[in-house]
């Protein structure tokens, strides 16, 4: 994330970089995208020279600053982009503000760098609370500034559907909004705000978001979470459900028993949705299909589904869920995309071998997935669920429970020492999750993500946080200030960040993790875990 001292070799000369510096070389667009607040202009010659070295990895780079200017040598467009981000981080925080005609002294340095992991992700749940396109574009910019490169958008859940569908328009006309939202605390009497909530991205929005993300070396990973979490879908198209009954878009938190049917019409429906998504996003290497927290009771109770399961030679409804997810993964593979699932889908068995597993219930199940030959993205609830409060205090805004601090995130290792070399090689990277049941607006998104996401970026890029991380983070906060990020201060929230008070001690993340780890040992542990 922030240049680490062990990578930097000091050179005696420094260089003055102006806010209208010109750029030359064959990777100009990548440098321009990274330095957009400095507004570099194209030209035949200038202070920043960029060239390609095919022997470097796509995301690797060498950055040299001396008396004659700045030289960037990169393995590909992403490497040039990240070199320019590092160059920007060598400047004062004021350089992150638009300022025409300004100039800054750049220290003479030589830096050679490359990421430890190819998957450096953030997840945002836009189903529970919708965040409009402008917030997604802003988040992409913030991710790019931290060399994060996977934006996982949770586009559907019981509480809302967030994508236009021209083939199935009731999805965005009916399933994208709810009449009210739960406001009560966990396990306390129900209360609601009686305010309509909703929104969705048009296919044109998705196209723009994906193009904007690619320009900043970020890949959007869309998630259509099935077969559970289906209340919103079945509010629009109940015929794709296991019972045929219409559901309401859920106005409370938690999980409903609503589940899609595994029969062929549902597979056809979902492949049509995939075609619309991929058509809008463009080249889409990954599509997340969920597979988590599924209540299979309606499948077990349906004579039609039971007969279909038996015709396939499958013994249990868990086998049927595995079969269903594999059909979707096969359809995605035909479209050039790899399926991604939560760890319940792995525990049920039967996945395509190239399916990527996200072990949110802990790294023990992640290890089993890696040992079985699946690529893994480390996503454990502790310390990577940022919807949990950073402190056990009523001063914090309302959260599901007490959870990880910046220090906890910085201490996390996606490559546990007791894993074998083969298992470690299966870890693609690391990703933090922000579920939004209790994150109602963009200001709260800022508060929950930052600066914990700074620690995530350090771990994702370097493999581990260096001992001097705290000191570099303190300096980095000035950049967040300049970028207008309303992060959580180390001393606790500002008065205006307190919002509705947190209930400390009701849910403790360490207790939750112990229970979840035990559940992963049960092949039928698809039911809701909270």
Catalytic residues: 157, 229, 293
Residue 296's Cβ-side half-sphere holds a number of Cα atoms within 13 Å equal to 22
**DSSP-based three-state secondary structure for 146:** coil
Report long-range pairs for 506-509 (Cβ below 8 Å, ≥24 apart). Answer: 506/185, 506/186, 506/187, 506/401, 507/186, 507/400, 507/401, 507/402, 508/401, 508/402, 509/381, 509/382, 509/385, 509/388, 509/401, 509/402, 509/403, 509/404
Contacts of 514 (CB under 8 A, 6+ apart): none
For the beta carbon of residue 431, count every other beta carbon within 10 angstroms. Answer: 25
What is the SS3 assignment for 226? strand
DSSP secondary structure string, 157-184? ETTEE-B--SSSTHHHHTTTEES--B-P
Q: 52 phi and psi, to 5 degrees?
A: -100, 140
Pair 287, 340: CB distance under 8 Å: yes
Any bridge partners for residue 110, and if so which? 9, 64
In total, the chain counts a number of residues equal to 530
**Per-residue exposure over 114-130, b if at least 16 CB sit within 10 Å of its own CB, e if not:** bbbbbbbbbbbbbbbbb
Region of residue 493 (phi > 0: left; psi between -120 and 50: alpha; otherwise: beta): beta
Structure tokens at 130: 């919708």
Q: Which two tokens stand for residue 147?
A: 């060399």
């Amino acid at each position: 994330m922030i240049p680490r001292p062990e990578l930097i070799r000091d050179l005696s000369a420094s260089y003055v970089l102006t806010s209208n510096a010109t750029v030359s070389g064959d990777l100009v667009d990548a440098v321009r995208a990274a330095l957009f607040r400095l507004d570099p202009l194209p030209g035949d010659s200038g202070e920043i020279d960029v060239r390609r070295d095919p022997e470097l990895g796509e995301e690797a780079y060498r950055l040299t600053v001396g008396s004659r200017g700045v030289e960037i040598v990169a393995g590909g467009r992403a490497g040039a982009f990240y070199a320019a981000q590092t160059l920007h981080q060598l400047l004062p925080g004021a350089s992150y503000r638009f300022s025409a005609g300004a100039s800054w002294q750049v220290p003479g340095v030589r830096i050679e760098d490359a990421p430890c992991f190819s998957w450096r992700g953030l997840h945002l749940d836009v189903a529970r609370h919708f965040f409009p396109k402008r917030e997604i574009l802003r988040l992409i910019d913030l991710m790019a500034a931290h060399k994060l490169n996977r934006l996982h958008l949770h586009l559907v859940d019981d509480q809302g559907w967030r994508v236009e569908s021209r083939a199935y328009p009731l999805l965005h006309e009916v399933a994208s909004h709810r009449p009210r939202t739960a406001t009560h605390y966990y396990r306390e009497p129900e209360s609601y705000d009686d305010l309509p909530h909703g929104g969705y991205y048009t296919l044109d929005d998705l196209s723009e978001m994906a193009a904007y993300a690619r320009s900043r070396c970020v890949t959007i990973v869309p998630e259509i979470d099935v077969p559970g979490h289906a209340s919103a879908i079945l509010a629009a198209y109940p015929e794709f459900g296991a019972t045929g009954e219409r559901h309401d878009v859920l106005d409370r938190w938690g999980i409903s028993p609503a589940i899609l049917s595994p029969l062929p019409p549902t597979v056809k429906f979902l492949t049509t949705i995939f075609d619309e998504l991929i058509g809008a996003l463009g080249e889409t290497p990954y599509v997340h299909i969920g597979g988590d927290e599924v209540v299979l009771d309606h499948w077990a109770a349906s004579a039609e589904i039971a007969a279909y399961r038996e015709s396939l030679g499958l013994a249990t409804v868990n086998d049927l869920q595995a079969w269903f997810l594999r059909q979707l993964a096969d359809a995605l593979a035909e479209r050039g995309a790899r399926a991604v699932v939560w760890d319940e889908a792995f525990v049920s068995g039967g996945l395509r071998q190239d399916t990527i597993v996200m072990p949110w219930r802990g790294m023990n199940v992640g290890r089993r997935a890696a040992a079985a030959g699946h690529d893994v993205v480390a996503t454990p609830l502790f310390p990577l669920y940022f919807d949990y409060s950073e402190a056990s205090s009523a001063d914090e805004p309302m959260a599901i429970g007490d959870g990880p601090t910046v220090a906890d995130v910085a201490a996390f290792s996606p490559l546990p020492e007791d894993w074998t070399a083969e298992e470690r090689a299966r870890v693609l990277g690391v990703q933090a999750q922000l579920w939004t049941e209790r994150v109602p607006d963009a200001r709260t998104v800022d508060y929950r993500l930052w600066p914990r996401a700074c620690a995530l970026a350090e771990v994702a890029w370097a493999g581990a946080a260096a001992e001097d991380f705290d000191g570099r983070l303190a300096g980095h906060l000035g950049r967040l200030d300049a970028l207008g990020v309303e992060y959580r201060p180390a001393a606790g929230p500002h008065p205006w960040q307190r919002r509705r008070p947190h209930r400390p001690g009701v849910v403790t993340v360490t207790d939750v993790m112990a229970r979840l780890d035990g559940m992963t040992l049960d092949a039928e542990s698809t039911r809701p875990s909270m």
